[in-house]
Amino acid sequence: MLFVQSLGVPRSARTRGSLLGQSTCACRGARTFAARVAVARTGQELRRGTVVCSASAGNSKSVVKGSSVVVVLGASRGLGKELVRRLSADGTFTVHAVSRSACDEFVQDPELRHQLDARNPEQMHELVAKTRPDVIVNCVAPAESDGVDEYPAYSYAVTSQCVDACLGVKSQGKTPLFLLVSALGAGDSENSIPSQVKDNMRGMLLDKSRAEKHLRTKYGDDFVIVRPAPLVDEDATGSGILTESVNAYGAITRGDLAELLCQILNASESARGKILTAVDGTKVLHVSPYIRNYEFWEKLPFAAFELA
């Protein structure tokens, strides 16, 4: 049997300000073995649940209906930076990188980088009016300088200002798809994470829940909400899965999450209006009565969502 450490309590503003915190295995050998047995157990499901971003673009109707302007909020670091890199390399999209700090080092075209505060309504309305996006991806997280106390309203503040700006162009006949990166544990997935994690991240999860509710209430069905499992700073495994189930607790790398977001934008209309959980199929964990790996004979408690 494999034993896994529970998620630790964040002890710094940086940790609590990250998208979801940390999740670690007891040792590297245990993690490697868990990956082997999970792949053996769910190989077919993983293949069904992952579609290579560049390959799918030419073979299906895009969720953005063939248009190509994507605005990424929170693009200077972490998930946002990785998403900008992958979307730009894909070649299908014109990608505008937006952040409060400069992102000159990886976005060479000055017309495609925008330094602003997404919580500022005037700046957001100006950005949307200028770029006329087909998609807005909100993957913002507080800067390290913001401090812990500033986090609980951050995601909601950015989402609400962005929704208001998008409604302005929507009233003119253009409907940008809004892709919100939320968190597993928000909304109706509250009971899918361990209680000790829930207690420690309550402020952030309440903020994410408010952001989700605002988007769903104000924006119709022109959205996709993705709730990733806890993010880990490791190399991508290529085993990321999307599912409509909330029973998919575990971990996922930023690279694999960024790839899943690319797949959503290159996939069919099946993702529009959906709330999806993102997790690495080799890192799924039991949460009750204690946190542990799935054994190789145990069936995963969810089905992969197919981006047909």
- Give the pLDDT of residue 284: 94
- Give the pLDDT of residue 65: 46
- Give the pLDDT of residue 63: 57
Give the chain's domain count: 1
Q: Within a domain: residue 252?
A: yes
Q: Within a domain: residue 243?
A: yes
Q: Within a domain: residue 308?
A: no
Q: Within a domain: residue 24?
A: no
- Give the pLDDT of residue 106: 78
Q: Within a domain: residue 13?
A: no
Contact 88, 95 (CB under 8 A): yes
Element (H, E) at 135: strand 135-138
DSSP-assigned letter for residue 186: B
- Give the pLDDT of residue 289: 85
Q: Within a domain: residue 138?
A: yes
Residue whose tokens read 């509710």: 213
Q: Which CATH number is 88's domain given?
A: 3.40.50.720
- Give the pLDDT of residue 253: 98
- Give the pLDDT of residue 103: 75
Token pair in block for residue 42: 């769910």
Q: Within a domain: residue 25?
A: no
Q: Within a domain: residue 3?
A: no
pLDDT along the chain (308 residues), means of 10: 35 34 37 38 39 36 63 92 92 91 79 92 94 94 55 82 90 88 95 88 91 95 96 95 96 97 88 97 90 90 91
- Give the pLDDT of residue 195: 87
What range defines the domain where residue 132 resides? 37-293
